[in-house]
Amino acid sequence: MLTKRIIPCLDVTNGRVVKGTKFLELRDAGDPVACAEEYNRQGADELVFLDITASSDNRRTMVDVVERTADCCFMPVTVGGGIRSTGDFRIMLNAGADKVSVNTAAIFHPGLIKEAAIRFGSQCVVVAIDAKRVPGADGRWEVYTHGGRKPANLDAVEWAKKIESLGGGEILLTSMDADGTKAGYDIELTRAVSEAVRIPVIASGGAGELAHLCRVLDEGKADAVLAASIFHFGQYKVADVKRHLQAQGIPVRL
């Protein structure tokens, strides 16, 4: 049986983890590769690196992080942030990334999804959606670009369907309303998107406690959960999360 994936996410800028992790066992908790190794040891199912500045100067540093991670962690790695062309896909895949996540560029140039899917296969094309609930409207979410700063005039569910039709292999769905609140994922949004497409959906934004992950996988119909702070600050180990989910009847790899 296919298990639900637990995916720690590391925000990186200039080759350093933003805000840092609080792994007591690591000598340098700001080193993304050291953090990746720790999550590998903990049995995380995948890892996501997000380049949050994504300037061209940063690109070389990020490639180096991905290369060094691929040398020591034998697990799937996704990298995102500032991906604009199939050339960027090529650079990250050659560095050792298994999947590449694209966001703003795909909205301005949806053909990028199709081109990347044809050249590298759908399986490595992740499209990130940053969605915000439309006030007053029942069950409608708008897509935002540029790290959540600009509205894109796109309905999140419609955009998800378009992504699938263009050959995107997976959706990384972040609720901007829930992100950073630690009050739980947006279950309704996740479910609406997950039920609208036949490609896997990774839920992101809002994880604060174990019950949140459980709910979004169960009621939200997510195929995987992304979480940052609950892991970084040592609140929970990956195995704690999995044991909890298993006890609730959710299939996980232990």
Partner 1 sequence: MRSWMRLILNLEFWILNPESMIMIALVDYGMGNLRSVEKALQRVGGKVRAVRDAGGVAAAQRLVLPGVGAFGDCMKNLAAQGLVESIRDFVRSGRPFLGICLGYQLLFEESEETAGCAGLGLLPGNVIRFPAGLPLKVPQIGWNNLRFRRPDCPLLRGVPDGSHVYFVHSYFPCPAEASDVCTETDYGMPFASMVWRGRMFACQFHPEKSQDVGLKMLENFVQL
List residues with catalytic annotation.
11, 130
Strand residues in the chain grouped as ranges (E): 5-13, 16-17, 47-51, 77-80, 99-102, 125-133, 141-145, 150-155, 170-175, 201-204, 224-227
Other C-beta atoms closer than 10 Å to the C-beta of 125 total 28
Give 142's strand partners: 132, 155
- For 140, counting Cβ atoms within 10 Å of its Cβ (0-12 exposed, 13-18 middle, 19+ buried), the class is middle
- Interface with partner 1 (CB under 8 A), residue from 142, 170, 179, 186: 170
Can you state the angle between helices 238-247 and 32-42, rounded to 10 degrees?
40
Write down the least CB distance from residue 220 to partner 1, Å: 14
Of 92 and 143, CB closest to partner 1? 92
**71 scored as a contact of partner 1 (CB under 8 A):** yes
* Strand 201-204 relative to strand 141-145, pairing: unpaired
Which stretch, 19-27, 138-146, 173-181, 192-200, contacts partner 1 (CB under 8 A)? 192-200
Write down the least CB distance from residue 104 to partner 1, Å: 23
**120 scored as a contact of partner 1 (CB under 8 A):** yes
- Interface with partner 1 (CB under 8 A), residue from 75, 105, 196, 239: 75
Of 68 and 133, CB closest to partner 1? 68
Write down the least CB distance from residue 120 to partner 1, Å: 6
**40 scored as a contact of partner 1 (CB under 8 A):** yes
C-alpha distances out from residue 65 to 49, 51, 217, Å: 9, 10, 30
**93 scored as a contact of partner 1 (CB under 8 A):** yes
Which stretch, 14-22, 25-33, 136-144, 197-205, contacts partner 1 (CB under 8 A)? 197-205
- Interface with partner 1 (CB under 8 A), residue from 14, 118, 139, 247: 118
Which two tokens mark 110? 């949806």
Q: Scan residues 215-234 and list those touching partner 1 (CB under 8 A).
A: 223-224
Of 130 and 170, CB closest to partner 1? 170
Alpha helices, DSSP H only, in 21-120?
32-42, 56-72, 86-95, 104-108, 111-120
Residues in the chain: 254
Q: Applying CB under 8 A, which residues contact partner 1?
A: 1-5, 40, 43, 45, 67, 70-71, 74-76, 93-98, 118-124, 169-170, 198-200, 223-224, 253
